[in-house]
Structure 1
Amino acid sequence: MLTERVLSDLTKAVIARDKVKITKKQAESIIEQARVAFARARIDPHEAAGILTAQSIGEPGTQMTMRTFHYAGVATVNVTQGLPRIIEVVDARKIPQTPTMTIYLDDSKRSEDDSKNALEAKKMAAALEVTLTKNIADLNTDVAQRRLVLNLHKGNLKQRNMTADEVRDKLGRALRLYIEADKESNPKVLTIVPGRQTESDKDVIPSYTELLQLEDKVKDLRLKGVPSIQRANVQLDDETGEYYLSTIGSNLTRVSDMDGIDRSRTYTNNIMEIYDFLGIEAARQAIVNELKLTLEGARLEVDDRHLLMVADVMTSEGAVRAIGRHGVSGTKHSILARAAFEVTVNHLLRAGIVGERDRLTGVAENIIVGQPISLGTGSVELYYVPREN
């Protein structure tokens, strides 16, 4: 039986071949051919699908390089590739080594003028990038006067799309202190005294420890941008001529809340973020996408069904689990299967203490005890009854 999705794909394929109208006989022929192809591609009952998947991914995996980085578009955005990336995905790492996002702007931010589109993309990049105080000012600690002096960089402020008045206002609200400026409008130097909350508090004499604590706090204070987005680069898609952003760092939840973002095309390589924000089905598809992208990057061809098998096993319990003793292998029902993977003594000891039983239904446990496995020819029982002449 063909699903609605398959029928939809067949329809799109017909339209792509400039076939606007087809006869009833042609439609029945296409559906019949698709049904035959489906039947031919279907796996046999009781086939060892997991072993086939492991071999089909493991063998090409030996050809993968151990290189960690490859430059994605520009030399400033590094992305983990090859075997290290495959390990990251199947280990279900909470934070990948090089988290990155691809962000597209929605229709409200696009026009027919390329220069305007580039400007909008730059504005969005400036809004996304984390701006710390140390990025836009030189911090000098005046120990004698017990104060912190900030010399603002005009060029850096312009690049980050910020003003000196904005910096002063944000520092005042974040620190809840009075921020003294060398001039009221567009100041160049800001002075902060620990403990001084209003302009009239001129008699406050802070300690040296308070001054150092304030310096540490001000230096890494986030004035603007989305947390974890260290850098956002504007790039041009050569095929569509559309500007998009490629980031170092990822924060899908916060980026999706911003105006002007096309949420349907915004993507992150952080699978756990996708799971937290969009759910388990989206995480399952992200696992397939990331595995396929990494294998194709290494010029290796693996059938999609093997990648789907890995994704299904990792997400079958409603959460993203690692393929290891802290995830899939460590939560198997069989004691012997768990013990065969890692920390053998611990599993056997714990099972003995609680009186756990092993039903010997899987592959590993039957091999350990020397029995035929319940797959392939071992899945059926055949008896030969000779005929009497």
Structure 2
Amino acid sequence: MKIYLTDGIKATAEDAQKLAASLEVTTTVNIATIETDVAQRRLVLHLNKANMSQKKMTGAEIREKLTRATRLHVIANKEKNPTVLTLIPNVHSVEDLDTLAENPPSYTMLLQLEEKIRDLRLKGIPGIERANVQFNDKTGEHYLATIGSNLARVNEIEAIDRNRTYTNNIIEIYDQLGIEAARQAIVDELKATLDGARLEVDDRHLLVVADVMTSEGEVRAIGRHGVSGTKHSILARAAFEVTVNHLLKAGIIGERDHLTGVAENIIVGQPIALGTGSVELFYVPDA
């Protein structure tokens, strides 16, 4: 994605960096080292101060998020700025610690908690793995370039210029802005790819591809799971991929091919219904 900022913060790199940190997905393993204490049946998280500073997070904030996500009592080495957090399965409050010796958690519960904690999202928007601050020399403004995309959630942020923010995820564009916007995005992405390879293709060819992909009111792929796989002709579908499957399915249900297209007529070796082949006029000279 390319995320452009509003006039209030687009000129300052510091504000743009703060916004980038809030967009990136931050999991527990990004800011802490997880130690599994099998003997004591507990997880010990050693927080990394440098990573927390980079992600603009505090130990108290991480402790609160872990408490809400796991509904467990999170033990901290100090109350204000903790650096070590401890979680014990089935310990939901301080009172549960008194009965821990009588009813210790199982090894399976410990492994389940570790798996949940390891992939737990503490901060950021789902789908956005990285967000880097870029500077545009022509306009003199900062913008964000991301790895991953989530157009719906990004558009909810007030600091975002929604008119210029762009993603190359065609499906997200279709879901948020409609089929016409998705069609234009297909054309733009095709042009950008061809320009990057220094290939010149007439725009009308790209428009035909985009029209075919969006003609049914939804975005369809060109392959066998999209346009090619939904052709009316049995032979045309079979000529693309998985030939046996198409022919077998058509034979089972008794499907009929009327040979109205180009590919199927070429396969059976008869003239296509275009040009001279579309004229049903014959001249029979006298013998």
Q: Is TM > 0.5 for Structure 1 vs Structure 2?
A: yes
The answer for the alignment partner of 1:255 in structure 2 is 154
Q: Deviations over 1:210-261 (max 9, x none)?
A: 2222122112211000112111100001211110111111122221222211
d(CA) in 2 for partners of 1:138, 1:352: 59
Question: In structure 1, which of residues 101, 104, 115 is the aligned counterpart of residue 4 of structure 2?
Answer: 104
The answer for the alignment partner of 1:27 in structure 2 is none
- Alpha-carbon offset, residue 208 of structure 1: 2.2
Superposed, 1:1-389 pairs within 5 Å as 101-110=1-10, 114=11, 117-202=12-97, 203-204=99-100, 205-380=104-279
Q: Deviations over 1:111-159 (max 9, x none)?
A: xxx4xx2111101100001111111112222223222211212221111
Counterpart of 1:374, as a letter, is A
d(CA) in 2 for partners of 1:215, 1:241: 46
Q: Deviations over 1:335-375 (max 9, x none)?
A: 23223333334433433443433332211222233333222
Report the aligned-residue RMSD: 2.1
Q: Deviations over 1:161-204 (max 9, x none)?
A: 11111111101000101111122111122111111111122122
Greater share of helix residues, 1 or 2? 1
d(CA) in 1 for partners of 2:75, 2:241: 62
d(CA) in 2 for partners of 1:244, 1:136: 25
- Alpha-carbon offset, residue 382 of structure 1: 6.0
When normalised by structure 1's length, the TM-score is 0.67
Counterpart of 1:192, as a letter, is L
- Alpha-carbon offset, residue 270 of structure 1: 1.8
Indicate the SS of the match to 2:257.
coil
Indicate the SS of the match to 1:350.
helix
1:380 to 1:209, Cα distance in 2 relative to 1, 3 A:
same
d(CA) in 2 for partners of 1:188, 1:339: 62
Q: Deviations over 1:55-108 (max 9, x none)?
A: xxxxxxxxxxxxxxxxxxxxxxxxxxxxxxxxxxxxxxxxxxxxxx11111234
d(CA) in 2 for partners of 1:177, 1:369: 69
When normalised by structure 2's length, the TM-score is 0.90
Identity of aligned residues (%): 72
Counterpart of 1:191, as a letter, is T
Counterpart of 1:180, as a letter, is I
d(CA) in 2 for partners of 1:379, 1:104: 53
d(CA) in 1 for partners of 2:34, 2:244: 57
- Alpha-carbon offset, residue 376 of structure 1: 3.1
Moved more, 372-381 or 232-241: 372-381
d(CA) in 2 for partners of 1:219, 1:156: 16
- Alpha-carbon offset, residue 385 of structure 1: 11
Indicate the SS of the match to 1:151.
strand
Moved more, 313-322 or 296-305: 313-322
Counterpart of 2:47, as a letter, is L
d(CA) in 2 for partners of 1:172, 1:353: 57
Counterpart of 2:68, as a letter, is R
1:214 to 1:344, Cα distance in 2 relative to 1, 3 A:
closer
Indicate the SS of the match to 2:217.
coil
1:157 to 1:375, Cα distance in 2 relative to 1, 3 A:
same
Gaps of 5+ in 2: none
1:284 to 1:207, Cα distance in 2 relative to 1, 3 A:
same
1:351 to 1:211, Cα distance in 2 relative to 1, 3 A:
closer
Moved more, 190-199 or 101-110: 101-110
